[in-house]
Structure 1
Amino acid sequence: MSGSKDLTETFYGRFAGVYDAVAAAPVVRSWRARCVEELCLSPGDTVVEMGCGTGANFPALRERVGPEGTVVGVDLVPAMLRQAQARTERHGWANVHVVRGDARQPPVATVDALVSTFVVGMLEDPGDAVRSWLGLVRPGGRVALLSATRTDRPALWPANLLLRAFTRLTAPGHRLRLDSPTRNLERRWAESVDALFDETVDRLTDRLGLGFVVLASGRVPEG
């Protein structure tokens, strides 16, 4: 497990700048904003993002919780957190905080909502991670997940080959493996959604970006 963490830190530390440019692209930003909408945040709420990267979701999260709320971004990679912190300081957000930590063992207490975008597909045991995240969210709070996937639109199936190549290039360790990176991505997504839906109500799934992006959300039951 330690080797996997080291590989992730090295890979994303090297490409933090490129990651930030892609994450902040208008179309990607629209997918992220749609995911944040599913949290149904209110001013004053506390929300945590697991695998916050360079803080691309911070603007949408901060807008929803307002200056009286709190945003906490958790990530493993120091280079990512430096860019996330710089984004926070650039905007003068005193209530947005970044914390170095492993998304599988989140270093946060109870929150009103939790979001994770393009992260569960990289975790070796995403089901366990999602279950641990659900334990952090108060009854009535929501959890929203976002991931890439192969499109289900027949006319676009050839583009799935591009997604496979992109996933192999951008997922730490996959270039050295013989199994399909997109199948692994989808298996991990399925495990994540199963864990999420097993313990939530008011569940939702959706496809975005011509079917290449999947969204799932649910509410932690009360009582």
Structure 2
Amino acid sequence: MANDARATQAFYGRWATAYDWLATAPGVDSWRDRAADRLGLEPGDTVVEMGCGTGANFAQLRERVGPEGRVVGVDVTRGMLRRASERVDRAGWDNVHLVQGDARRPPVDGPVDAVLATFVVGMFADPRPAVERWIETLGPGGRIALLNAGRSERLAAAPLNLGFRAFVRLAAPGDGRVSPVESLERRVATARDAVYSNCSDHGFDEFGFGFLGLAWGERT
């Protein structure tokens, strides 16, 4: 587990700038809006983003919690947090806080109102314990949303699925023996099941031509 964390830190530290460009590419904001909307945030709420990366979701989250709310970003990689800190400083957000830590064991005390994780759970060998910990930090009525990518089942998307498979191999940290896309999808499905098992009200939204899935749940 420690070796996995070090590999992730090294990989994303080297590629923080490129990752930030990809995370803010045209059209991506609409995905982030959908994920933030599913959290049902209100002014004054506290929301934690697990694996916040360069902070590309912060604008959507802060817009919903307002200046009286709080956004906490957790990430294990210094390079990512450095970029996130620059984004926070440029915007002048004094209620957005960054924490370096492993999202599988986040150094965050609950209860909080919402937890968001985008394209994160697929990096964990077994995401269930992490997702269950995230849900435990939620107060009654708190919401969780997991945004992830996978192959599309639409017939017209078959050629694009080949490109997605190649992207997974290039974009994931590792030593050249990166788990295939099937492993990614299995991990994402495990995380979604953890949400369904621990949240009585839950659901799943598919969009982005079938390549994107948003699992969400509310803790009772």
Q: TM-score under structure 2 normalisation? A: 0.97
Where does residue 27 of structure 2 map in the other structure? 27
- For residues 103 and 124 of structure 1, the distance between their equivalents in structure 2, rounded to whole angstroms, comes to 13
Post-superposition offset of 1:174: 6.5
Post-superposition offset of 1:175: 2.7
SS at match of 1:175: coil
Q: Which moved more, 1:94-103 or 1:24-33?
A: 24-33
Where does residue 11 of structure 1 map in the other structure? 11
Where does residue 131 of structure 2 map in the other structure? 130
Where does residue 152 of structure 2 map in the other structure? 151
| Superposed structure 1 runs of 4+ greater than 2 Å apart | none
Where does residue 202 of structure 2 map in the other structure? 203
1:99 and 2:91 are equivalent in the alignment: no
Q: Which amino acid aligns with 1:213?
A: L
Where does residue 185 of structure 2 map in the other structure? 186
Where does residue 68 of structure 1 map in the other structure? 68
SS at match of 2:209: helix
Post-superposition offset of 1:102: 0.2
1:57 and 2:54 are equivalent in the alignment: no
- For residues 24 and 181 of structure 2, the distance between their equivalents in structure 1, rounded to whole angstroms, comes to 23
Q: Is the 8 A contact 1:169 1:175 kept in 2?
A: no
Q: Deviations over 1:31-90 (max 9, x none)?
A: 111001000000000000000000000000000000000000000000000110110110
Q: Deviations over 1:101-142 (max 9, x none)?
A: 000001111111000000001111101110010000101010
Q: Which moved more, 1:202-211 or 1:74-83?
A: 202-211
Q: TM-score under structure 1 normalisation? A: 0.96
Where does residue 220 of structure 1 map in the other structure? 219
- For residues 174 and 48 of structure 2, the distance between their equivalents in structure 1, rounded to whole angstroms, comes to 27
Q: Deviations over 1:137-169 (max 9, x none)?
A: 101010000001000111111211110100001
Q: Which amino acid aligns with 2:182?
A: R
Q: Which moved more, 1:121-130 or 1:58-67?
A: 121-130
Pairs aligned (count): 219
Q: Which amino acid aligns with 1:136?
A: T
- For residues 188 and 62 of structure 1, the distance between their equivalents in structure 2, rounded to whole angstroms, comes to 29
| Structure 1: runs of 5 or more not aligned | none
Where does residue 39 of structure 2 map in the other structure? 39
